Amino acid sequence: MNRKIILVPVLLAAVAGGAWWLTRNHAPAASELVVHGNVDIRQVELAFNASGRIDRVLVQEGDRVAKGQVLASLDTERLRLTLAQAEAQAAVQRSQLAKLKAGNRPEEVRQAAAQRDAARVAVVDAEQVYKRQQDLVARNFVSRQQADSALNSLNAARERLKAADETYRLAQLGARKEDIAAAQAALAVQEAATAGLKHDIAEGELHAPEAGVIENRILEPGDMASPAKSVLTLALTDPVWVRVYLPESVLGRVPVGARATVTTDSHPDRKYQAWVGYVSPAAEFTPKTVETAELRTSLVYQARVFVCAGNAELRQGMPVTVAVAYDQAAPARTPVCGGK
């Protein structure tokens, strides 16, 4: 009688164990992968690319900013005054170059022609004087010295005529090519100096490299800024991505670009549409912060699941649950936020 009583529990245990084994080995396979991870947001430490005293900081912590928006500026008054001086010098040099390229004015050419004609008349007059002096010397009316003086005056008049002819030719030709090239080079130097000052002034403004949210306001107006000192911390919220870890056994069933959904404890009824954007090529041991059913020593692969919507609700470090349907067809083109 006692043996029967003992055998009944043993048989019941055996039946229960067999049912468990059948359930475990013949249960329907899961249709999706469910992993846990944390929201990750890239951060940028923004600094000026120049040194100087901060004039204005235009944003506060928590402000959403657009790409290219001016966030802060330096005091650039001294640079602006130097720029005005450089622009004036460039304008002078530009006018000088235009004058050389234009050549002499018609009035200057006519003036040179008139001086040449006057020199030609002077030569004719000197020739006549010299001839008369020679006749007088032949008649012994004047000394030979006076004839020599008349000859010298004639030679001087001829040289002045040559000089007037060259002046007229130069007036017609205008400036030399070398002079124009030198003026162009001098203008290029002035314009380069002007462009450098404009660049320095432009670097006195700090712009947002991408859209995001201001996390920290580190420096204030009056502080000295430099390229090595951060002024603001910007969180890049587009896209937001979730860091998860995939076990090796599912790598062949979760392609890059696969559609996924993300849920949070804050909004358990809301599903954020996402996609698998990256799977690490290198394995690593499961981090202690990852909740999985596998042993801690099993190898996993880090993956990033990108979320384009709900940026205002997903915060840095927030724990989330990611679900990815198995065996999706790999997309021909990896999705990106905004459809770009």
Look-up of token digits 């205008």: 174
* Spatial contact of 47 and 228, defined as CB atoms under 8 Å apart: yes
* Spatial contact of 286 and 245, defined as CB atoms under 8 Å apart: yes
pLDDT (tens, 9 = 90+) of the chain, 340 residues, equals 444 444 444 444 444 444 433 344 444 457 889 999 998 888 899 999 999 999 999 999 999 999 999 999 999 999 999 999 999 999 999 998 888 777 777 777 788 888 888 888 888 888 888 788 887 777 777 778 887 788 888 888 888 888 888 887 777 776 678 888 898 999 999 999 999 999 999 999 999 999 989 999 999 999 999 999 999 999 987 778 899 998 888 888 888 889 999 998 888 888 888 989 888 888 877 665 555 544 444 678 889 999 876 667 888 888 999 999 998 887 877 676 655 4
pLDDT value, residue 325? 92
| Spatial distance between the Cα atoms of 149 and 158, rounded to a whole number of angstroms | 14
pLDDT value, residue 297? 47
* CATH classification of the domain holding 249: 2.40.30.170
Contacts of 329 (CB under 8 A, 6+ apart): 255
pLDDT value, residue 200? 94
Residue 49 lies in a domain: no
- Return the sign of the alpha-carbon dihedral for residues 172, 176, 180, 183: negative
In DSSP notation, 98-152 reads HHHHH-S-HHHHHHHHHHHHHHHHHHHHHHHHHHHHHHHHHTTSS-HHHHHHHHH
Residue 68 lies in a domain: no
The verdict on 93 and 33 lying in the same domain is: no
Cβ density class 46-84: b for 16+ within 10 Å, e for less = bbbebebebbebebeeeeebeeeeebbbbebeebeebbe
Q: How many domains does the chain have?
A: 2
The alpha helices in the chain, defined as continuous H runs, are 2-26, 77-102, 106-138, 144-173, 177-202
The verdict on 240 and 194 lying in the same domain is: no
CA nearest 37: which of 318, 338, 335?
Answer: 318
Q: What is the value of pTM for the model shown?
A: 0.61
Residue 167 lies in a domain: yes
The verdict on 183 and 275 lying in the same domain is: no
pLDDT value, residue 193? 95
Residue 260 lies in a domain: yes
In this predicted model, what pLDDT tens digit does every residue of 309-336 receive, in sequence order? 666 788 888 899 999 999 888 787 767 6
Q: Of 199, 222, 248, which marks where a domain is finished? A: 199
The verdict on 91 and 142 lying in the same domain is: yes
Encoded tokens for 200: 């320095």
The verdict on 102 and 153 lying in the same domain is: yes
What domain range is 319 assigned to? 29-42+236-339
Considering only CA atoms, give the Rg of the chain.
46
- Bridge partners of 32? 325
pLDDT value, residue 7? 46
Residue 273 lies in a domain: yes
Residue 246 lies in a domain: yes
The verdict on 194 and 86 lying in the same domain is: yes
